[in-house]
Chain A
Amino acid sequence: MFRLTIEKSLNHFISANNTDLTHIDNKVVSFRVDEIDLTLFFLCLNSRIFVIDSPQHKKVDVSLITNNASFLAIFKGASLEELLENEDIEINGSVNTAQQLASLLSSSSIDIEELISQYTGDIVAHQLGQAFRQIKKATIKNDSSIISTLKDEITTALIAPSRSKFFKGRV
Chain B
Amino acid sequence: MAKTTHFGYKEVDIEKKQGLVKGVFDSVAGKYDLMNDVMSMGTHRLWKNYTIASSNVKEGDHVLDIAGGTGDLAIKFRKKVGPKGKVILSDINDSMLFEGRKNLLNHGIIDVDFVQANAESLPFEDNTFDCVSIAFGLRNVTHKDLALKQMHRVLKKGGTLLILEFSKVENQMLEKIYDLYSFNLIPKFGEFFANDEDSYQYLAESIRRHPDQETLKNMVLDAGFEFCEYHNLTGGIVALHKAIKA
Contacts and interface: CB of A to CB of B under 8 A. Distances in A.
Interface of A: 4, 7-8, 11, 15, 43, 45-48, 50, 52-54, 56-58, 153-154, 156-162, 170-171
A27 B227 CA distance: 14
Contacts of B195: none
A167 B20 CA distance: 44
B191 interface: no
A40 to B, nearest CB: 13
Interface in B119-164: 130, 156-160
Contacts of A50: 56, 160, 227, 244
B59 A15 contact: yes
Contact of B231 (A7, A11, A15, A170): A170
Given A43-B244, A45-B158, A46-B157, 15 more contacts: A7-B56, A45-B246, A46-B158, A50-B227, A52-B229, A56-B226, A154-B50, A156-B46, A157-B49, A158-B50, A159-B46, A159-B47, A161-B231, A162-B232, A170-B232
Interface in B196-227: 221, 226-227
Contacts of A7: 56
Interface of B: 43, 46-47, 49-50, 52-54, 56, 58-59, 130, 156-160, 221, 226-227, 229-234, 242, 244, 246
Contacts of A48: 56, 58, 158
Given A45-B246, A56-B226, A157 B231 contact: no
A52 B229 CA distance: 8
A157 B53 contact: yes
A154 B55 CA distance: 12
B56 A8 contact: yes
A171 B241 CA distance: 10
Contacts of B231: 161, 170-171
Given A46-B156, A46-B158, A53-B229, A159 B50 contact: yes
Contact of A43 (B47, B233, B246): B246
Contacts of B246: 43, 45, 58
B53 A4 contact: yes
A159 B234 contact: yes
A97 B67 CA distance: 40
A15 B227 contact: no
A58 B226 contact: yes
B229 A45 contact: no
B46 A157 contact: yes
Contacts of B244: 43, 45, 50, 52
Among A46, A154, A161, A170, the most chain B Cβ lie within 10 Å of the Cβ of: A46
B160 to A, nearest CB: 8
17 contacts: A4-B54, A7-B56, A8-B56, A11-B58, A43-B244, A43-B246, A45-B158, A48-B58, A53-B229, A56-B226, A154-B50, A156-B46, A157-B46, A159-B234, A161-B232, A170-B231, A171-B230
